Chain A
Amino acid sequence: MDGPGGAGVEHAGACSDFEHFRLGYPAQEYNLYVHPTDRFKTTTLRLYLHTALCEEEAARTALVPALLRRGCRRYPSLRAMTRALDDLYGAQLDADVLKIGERQLVFLSLDLAGDRYVGGEDLLPQGLGFLQCLLREPLGDDGSFPDELVAQEAAHLVHAVASLADDKLHYAIERCFRLMCDGEPFGVYEYGTVEALRAVTGPGLRLHLDQLLEASPADLFVVGDVDPHVTARLVASQLTLPRGEIRHLPPIEAQPTRRAVQRVVESLPGDAALQGELILGYRSRIRMRDPLAPALLLLDDLMGGGPSSRLFRLLREEQQLMYSISSFLVKSKGLWMVVASVADDAREVVEATVTRELERIAAGQLEDEELDTARRQVLSQLRTVDDAPGRKISFLLGRLINDRVATPLQVEAELQDVTRSQVIRAAGSLQLDTVYFLAPETPGEVEA
């Protein structure tokens, strides 16, 4: 049932530092997580629809938020949408896809001015009503998005996907993921391929939206100066999803490393830059849900986290081989990536240094001081979570996806407890899988 009062609300207790409710329970279930706080001046709403990342559906899923942004029956143009948001005192709408581990998520985000700053208006019901229109009264009729709009949005996304090559570093990282995780869901790019984007039709896309609303696990987050129970009742009556049988999503796998290291060198046509982008992809098989995960976080910071990290000191400060070198983790999947912009002749030194330093740490060559520094740095980054509503939401979402719910304070405690021997084990778990180099086509030519 869609109407007010037709949906049940079940308070499921605390989840991290949010209050968790099941809405539409039991038949049309989706989750609501509310974090009441007066620290921010806006109320942030974010709805996520979870899907399993796969080659066949990625493009179609990516086009859904692109079409939702274009309007709905009540606000049937970009101009009408902008005006509706202006009327809500400059509410900010964002709709896009995002990849976390092996999931592709559609999200819709609406940020509303806090009621007390706009003369005591009651914006939350209006904001929920706006989201409801977008999701439940999409543009088009007869079960189809207008083909013309689908073609326009597909063309925009095709350009955006192709233009990724204009940002060489980002492009190189995506290419490395693709090659490293070929055949695994994680290797799929969240905006799909140019061919798949071009093949999407109005009716097909509308059917896909209906299926997403019906069967995708769905989480709505609210952060702001609100009462959790009042919010839950309001959401249950204002934002009704036509839920059916909810799809179960597989847990994220951490595949073993291939036997021989895969080495790929590619170039972009017309690239005459002085240096290329080197990406080293390692697998650890330690995912966020695994006990060694906090140790891996410290190892990442210690190796490539900042100006006091080993790689920065050894490669940039001591040998001046590059300006940028850093590392990052794909926490859900247990991948560790090293990224550097270097000339062709420095590639081997970088790889050898990373290998050697990992071996050293795995053999116990690890100063307490550098471990303490890494711990302080990671703790400090973790503390940014509480100071911005979007970060609070992303934090819990990541923990939910990895089946490892915790508060930021609990994660702080885990990081405090990481021992030297755990970091040594984390280093020992890393295995080089893929070395990718995006080389200039004609290197060494200084551009005019």
Chain B
Amino acid sequence: MNTTRRFEHPGLGESFREELLGDRLRVVLYEKPGFRRTFALLIARFGGGDMMLPDGTPIPEGMAHFFEHRLFTKLDGDISTRFSALGLSVNAATGLVRTAFHFTGSEHLAAGIELLLELVLVPHFPAEGVEMERQIIRREIAEHEASATTHLYRNLHHGLYHAHPVRREVLGSESTLGDITPTLLYRCHEAFYCPENLVLFLYGGAEEEVALRALERYLEQEAPPQPGRYIPPPDVEEPPGVVRSRIEQRHRVVRPHVAMGFKIRPGATRGRAFLEESILTQVCLDVTFGTGTRWYEEQYASGLIDDSFDAACNSDHGYAYVSVTGETGDPEGFEEAICERSQAVLEGGVEEDALRRVQRRMVGNFLRYFNTPEDALGLFANYHLQEANPLECVELARMLDAERIAARLQELLRLDRRCTSILRPRNSEDPGW
């Protein structure tokens, strides 16, 4: 009753397989013989961007994150103690669309997997614990608010998006934390945490077959018998234009921080089209703003940009924008330089051999992922969740041509849909360092 799909790249000597266990749980196994540690990553499709339960009950901001914290407490105390006793370190992180639970270790993998399933499938939310958690999360919010990045991106998202949940605070706020109750926690568990809503990734060298058998046993004997189903969040109506073209804030920063965003139409979301589009996007940003361009060298030499400069495409369920970020002494000059460069590329194209160079570079960059298990697992999980096979990266990059780059650049560099978020120093005093 298990369905298996295999993925291979003989030239690389890499392969992995996906199993649908008991017709309920997707497991992606990536065996790395000879490696000493194994990484397990369990993804749940529930995040800070989820705004309502299937019956329409609103979900307060910060719910998925609060929920992730509370899952660690079981009847006999903090479940991470049981991971630690096995030599496994466990942690979790909540994003906009998903929550990730992961552990790493070099032994007791099967026992660890069972614990991981217990962690997400067995809820225990007594009222006292919920009160305590509010206090800890208040402290976490205070830490989060102290970071300049938090404010820079919050402002950018508020400038770019009218309604999309990317505007929501994953950690919530003082007022929304108060709306979280044990009852609501249980209802979220019921709605989102069932085997059908999870994907488990295993990457590494240890006892994966044993782990698989342990999983099957757990699913048969201990998982909730009723199959659940994933309720996709309703798509929010988001106009194509931005809210504001500029948002500034005073903050405790030494030099101004700038984040420019170009709001673009969310593109392909799955399969080879998704992989191809994300490679094409990387190539476009590299040939426009990368260190191999004359433009970069000139801006770097003039001191307008430095190593903090970066251009990337941020996207997830239902939103996408290009971000160009950095610290600079001259935010207006920075903004102007980015706009001029974008205009120049849109009109005059990129350097002639740019594509060939980037294609060659992608070979090494791709191979490098396999040097660090964390990076490799991140890459695989990222693409696999969108039903794309990252082993095809290099081959797909080879198929790109100048026309497609030119077309994609028109989609990416939307100067008419931009917002610039700037944090300026509160005062110009030297911090005394």
Contact residues of A with B, CB < 8 Å? 39-42, 44, 77-79, 82-83, 85-92, 111-114, 117-118, 152, 155-156, 159-166, 168, 171, 194, 268-275, 306-308, 313, 316-317, 320-324, 341-343, 369, 372-373, 376-377, 379-380, 383-384, 386-390, 446-448
Contacts and interface: CB of A to CB of B under 8 A. Distances in A.
B430 interface: yes
B104 A86 contact: no
B371 A42 contact: yes
A369 B85 contact: yes
Interface in B79-102: 80-81, 84-90
B85 A372 contact: yes
Interface of B: 11-12, 34-37, 72, 78, 80-81, 84-90, 104-106, 132, 135-137, 139-140, 142-143, 145-146, 148, 151, 249, 251-255, 257, 290-294, 296-297, 300-301, 303, 306-308, 327, 329, 357-358, 360-365, 367-368, 370-373, 425-427, 429-431, 433
Contact of B364 (A112, A270, A390): A112
Which residue among A44, A91, A161, A165 has the maximum number of chain B CB atoms within 10 Å of its CB? A165
Nearest to B79: A307
A274 B88 contact: no
A86 B371 contact: no
A308 B80 CA distance: 7
Closest 3 CB pairs of A and B: A90-B364, A376-B87, A270-B426
A307 B36 contact: no
A78 B37 contact: no
B254 A166 contact: yes
Contacts of B426: 269-270
B293 A320 contact: no
Given A78-B297, A79-B292, A92-B368, A307 B80 contact: yes
A400 to B, nearest CB: 22
Contacts of B427: 269-270
A320 B141 CA distance: 13
Which residue among A92, A118, A160, A376 has the maximum number of chain B CB atoms within 10 Å of its CB? A376
Contacts of B81: 307-308, 373
25 contacts: A40-B371, A42-B364, A42-B368, A78-B296, A79-B291, A83-B292, A85-B361, A117-B363, A155-B303, A164-B433, A268-B252, A269-B429, A272-B252, A273-B142, A308-B80, A320-B136, A321-B139, A323-B143, A341-B139, A341-B142, A373-B85, A384-B36, A390-B371, A446-B145, A447-B151
Nearest to A171: B433
Nearest to A447: B145
Nearest to A91: B364
Given A86-B292, A87-B360, A165-B254, 17 more contacts: A41-B371, A78-B291, A78-B297, A82-B291, A89-B361, A111-B371, A156-B306, A163-B308, A166-B148, A166-B252, A269-B431, A306-B89, A307-B78, A380-B87, A383-B106, A388-B372, A447-B151
A418 to B, nearest CB: 15
Which residue among A78, A83, A343 has the maximum number of chain B CB atoms within 10 Å of its CB? A78
A313 B254 CA distance: 36
A212 to B, nearest CB: 22
A377 B12 CA distance: 33
Given A160-B307, A321-B139, A387 B373 contact: yes
Which residue among B12, B106, B425 has the maximum number of chain A CB atoms within 10 Å of its CB? B106
B14 to A, nearest CB: 9
B252 A270 contact: yes
A171 B431 CA distance: 11
Contacts of A383: 36-37, 106
Nearest to B146: A273
A393 to B, nearest CB: 12
Nearest to B358: A86
A86 B368 contact: no
B361 A86 contact: yes
A380 B78 CA distance: 20
A441 to B, nearest CB: 8
A383 B87 CA distance: 11
B37 A387 contact: yes
A322 B139 CA distance: 5
Which residue among A78, A90, A324, A386 has the maximum number of chain B CB atoms within 10 Å of its CB? A90
Nearest to B364: A90
Contacts of A307: 72, 78, 80-81, 84, 90
Contact of B85 (A89, A90, A112, A376): A376
